[in-house]
Every structure is written in structure tokens, then in C-alpha cells.
Amino acid sequence: MKFLNYGSLNIDYVYRVDHILAPGETLSSKGREIFPGGKGLNQSIALARAGVEVFHAGRIGKEGGFLLDLCRENGICTDFIKLDENADCGHTMIQVDANGENAILLYGGSNQQQEKAQMDEVLDHFGRGDVILLQNEINEMPYLIDRAYEKGLTIFLNPSPMDEKLLRCDLEKISWFLLNEVEAEQLTGTKDEEEIRIELRKRYPGAKFVLTLGKEGACYFDAEESVFQESFPVKVVDTTAAGDTFTGYFIAELLKGGTKEEALRIASRAASIAVSRKGASTSIPYRKELDA
């Protein structure tokens, strides 16, 4: 089984603020730091630090060389990451407030310049029995989902950030959805957790779901069963990449043959460590730290 993550790589410009900006407001930040990020990159790093051999595919722009270095340092195969010297790298402006909560402004850049030909080339190396993980920070998502499905790959989707374009994809081809309560509401039109389950089970009867609920915990459910995991209380410094850490660790534990209960527990523990640290990719723990 080979594991492919086809997703974004961003440069995160992180600004510490007392509170998240209101419309029309001007506010001085308490400082700026630059971190590697992007939901795709963060999830590849979480998977790799959890012990999975990952192939990452995507595109970086001219300033993104350090993102490639970070992948290599973490043992991620970078053969399918294309460096485009003519493109601006995908990046974000992230405000992090005194409680560690964030607001993220995303500029797609190189992440939004994926080409179908490159997707075909990458997918030529994968087939039935392999796994693909996707988020929603790159273009050509409908094409990628269709091709991966045709080739018999099992598709895991973290539908983040949710938008109209993603809703136009054939989501019946997805085997696993890993989403938070905001994305679940955008997908189903309801905030109520029970109604979310009913609606998702009805729409995608063959799929499996992992719903993260912030400090309220996380749950797994499918057509037959449902499992709940409480979160681990910690002092929150920065919630950026908590969901990515959870996603990577949950999938890693499953691939190792762990039960859903174990996968939820390990993923929650990893996410609790990530929120106690600054930054996105840099906040993601190594597997051995979870046992400490």
C-alpha cells in the first residue's frame, strides 16, 4: 500500500494580536513569525511523524524552497512536488489572539496552479490498494477525485476549507471524511450534531466519518457504529494545524491496524500537543512524544 497526499504547501505569516480584527478596524500586531504550513503539508508532516511513508504531491512557488527542505527532513518523498519559479508560493496571513484562536486569510498562489497533466503523471505511480488524502486548498479537485477513484485508490478527504467548488465534486467517491463542526455544518446545513450524523449517513451511506469538535472532543461514525473521544485539556497557545495533526495521526493509527478508539485517542493526544505550541507544521509532535 502506498500513501499519496496531494495537497497545498503554504508559507504562514503569523501575527500575534490581542483580538481578531473586526471589519474596518486597524490594529498593531505584537509581532510576526514565519512558519511552514498549508493543510496538505501539515498533514503530510503529521503522517510522517506518526510513522507513515508519505508521497506528497503539489506545487510550490519561488519562495517555497524551505518547504521542500522540511518535507525531506521529515522523510517525505518530494518527487511529485513541482517547484514553479514563475509562481508566487501559496501563503497565508494568520492572526492568533490571546486565547490561541486564529483567523486565516489564504492566498492560493502555486497551490491553485495544479495541472491535470501533472495529476495524471503522479497517479500513474499509484493504483488499486493505494490511498490518497486530499484537502481543499488546490484547484482541479473534481478531476483529481474522479481520476483517483477510477484508479481504485481509497480516498480520504478533509473538506477544508469548504466551498462551493468542493460541493460540486462527486463526493460519493469519498471513502473517509475527516471534518470539523464548521465544515460539517457547511456540508449538511445543520449545526445539530445528531442531525449532522443522520444527514451524512444518508448522503454517503458507504462512507466513514470523523468529526472533530474542538475542545468538546471528536467522534467516529459510519452506518452502524459510533465512537466518542474526549479532548485532552491543555493550555492553548495556538490552534493552527490542530485539525491537520489530528487527521494525520488518526489515519496513521488506522493504517497501522489500530482500532477506531485507539486512532481517536492517539489523534486527540497529538492535537492537544500541537495546540500547546506555536506555528503549524512546526507544532506537530513526533510519535515518541505521545508516549512521554
- By beta-carbon proximity to ligand RIB, the closer residue of 99 and 226 is 99
Q: Give the C-alpha separation, 41 to 76, whole Å.
A: 10
- By beta-carbon proximity to ligand RIB, the closer residue of 11 and 131 is 11
Where in 57-96 is the site for ligand RIB (CB under 6 A)?
Answer: 92
Distance of CA 181 to the CA centre of its chain: 14
- By beta-carbon proximity to ligand RIB, the closer residue of 50 and 280 is 280
Counting contacts by CB under 6 A, is residue 271 touching ligand RIB? no
Other CB atoms within a 10 A radius of the CB of residue 219 amount to 18
- Among 3, 12, 141, 209, indicate the residue that binds ligand RIB (CB under 6 A): 12
Q: Taking the complex as a whole, how short is the minimal distance between the CB of residue 42 and ligand RIB, in angstroms?
A: 5
Beta strands in the chain (DSSP E): 3-6, 10-16, 32-37, 54-61, 77-84, 91-96, 102-107, 131-134, 154-157, 176-180, 208-212, 218-221, 226-229
Which whole-number Å values give the CA distances from 58 to 9, 225, 290, in the listed order? 7, 35, 29
Q: Which residue is nearest to ligand RIB (CB)?
A: 37
Counting contacts by CB under 6 A, is residue 137 touching ligand RIB? yes
Stretch near ligand RIB under the rule CB under 6 A, chosen from 33-41, 46-54, 56-64, 247-255: 33-41
Q: Give the C-alpha separation, 237 to 230, whole Å.
A: 19
Counting contacts by CB under 6 A, is residue 222 touching ligand RIB? no
Q: Taking the complex as a whole, how short is the minimal distance between the CB of residue 213 and ligand RIB, in angstroms?
A: 16
Counting contacts by CB under 6 A, is residue 104 touching ligand RIB? yes
Q: Give the C-alpha separation, 41 to 67, whole Å.
A: 8
Judge whether 185 and 197 are in contact, CB under 8 Å: no
Counting contacts by CB under 6 A, is residue 183 touching ligand RIB? no
Q: Is 207 helix (H, G, I), strand (E, B) or coil?
A: coil
Q: What residue ranges bind ligand RIB (CB under 6 A)?
A: 8, 10, 12, 37-39, 42, 92, 104, 106, 137, 240-241, 243-244, 280
